[in-house]
C-alpha cells in the first residue's frame, strides 16, 4: 500500500543547532517533492520544491535532499531559531494527479 512517513511526530532541538527532518515514502514515484511549514491555526506555507533529478536544493538556511533510490527526502534547517518552531510537512505529487502530504513533524527550537 502507499504510505508517506515523517521521522517523528515531534522533534526538540537547541537553538543554533541543525534540525534534520525525514520524509520516507512507499509505492509512490514522485517527480517532485515539496516541503511546507504550518503554524497553529494557519494554512501551510510553501518552502521548497525539489525535482527527482535534483539531489539537493538550498534556500537561505534551508536545505532539501531527494534520494529516489532510498525513497527519502531530508529537510535541514541550519542555525535554528525559536521562530523556526512549527510543523513541517512534506508533500509529493501523486503521478501528477494531486499532492499527498505526510503527517508532519512538530519542531520545537528551545532557546
Partner 1 sequence: KAGVTQTPRYLIKTRGQQVTLSCSPISGHRSVSWYQQTPGQGLQFLFEYFSETQRNKGNFPGRFSGRQFSNSRSEMNVSTLELGDSALYLCASSLGTESVSGNQPQHFGDGTRLSIL
Please give the residue ranges that form the binding site for partner 1 (CB under 8 A).
30-32, 34, 36, 41-46, 49, 51, 89, 91-94, 96-104
Instruction: Note the helical H segments in 43-105.
Output: none
What is the dihedral sign for C-alpha 31, 29, 56, 19?
Answer: positive
CB of residue 82 to partner 1, shortest distance in Å:
22
> Minimum distance from CB of 72 to partner 1 (Å)?
18
- Residue (of 29, 38, 106, 103) closest to 68 by Cα position: 29
Which cell is 19 given? 534540525
Q: How far is the CB of 16 from partner 1 (least distance, A)?
A: 29
Q: Which residue has the cell 541550519?
A: 78
Nearer to partner 1, 10 or 79 (CB): 10
Nearer to partner 1, 82 or 95 (CB): 95
Amino acid at each position: 500500500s502507499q504510505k508517506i512517513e515523517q521521522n517523528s511526530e515531534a522533534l526538540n532541538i537547541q537553538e543554533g543547532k541543525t534540525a534534520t527532518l525525514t520524509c520516507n515514502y512507499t509505492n509512490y514515484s514522485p517527480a517532485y517533492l515539496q516541503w511546507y511549514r504550518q503554524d497553529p491555526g494557519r494554512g501551510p506555507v510553501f518552502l521548497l520544491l525539489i525535482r527527482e533529478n535534483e539531489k539537493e536544493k538550498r534556500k537561505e538556511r534551508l536545505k532539501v535532499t531527494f534520494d529516489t533510490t532510498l525513497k527519502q527526502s531530508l529537510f535541514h534547517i541550519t542555525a535554528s531559531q525559536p521562530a523556526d518552531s512549527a510543523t513541517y510537512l512534506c508533500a509529493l505529487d501523486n503521478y501528477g494527479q494531486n499532492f499527498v502530504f505526510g503527517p508532519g513533524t512538530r519542531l520545537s527550537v528551545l532557546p
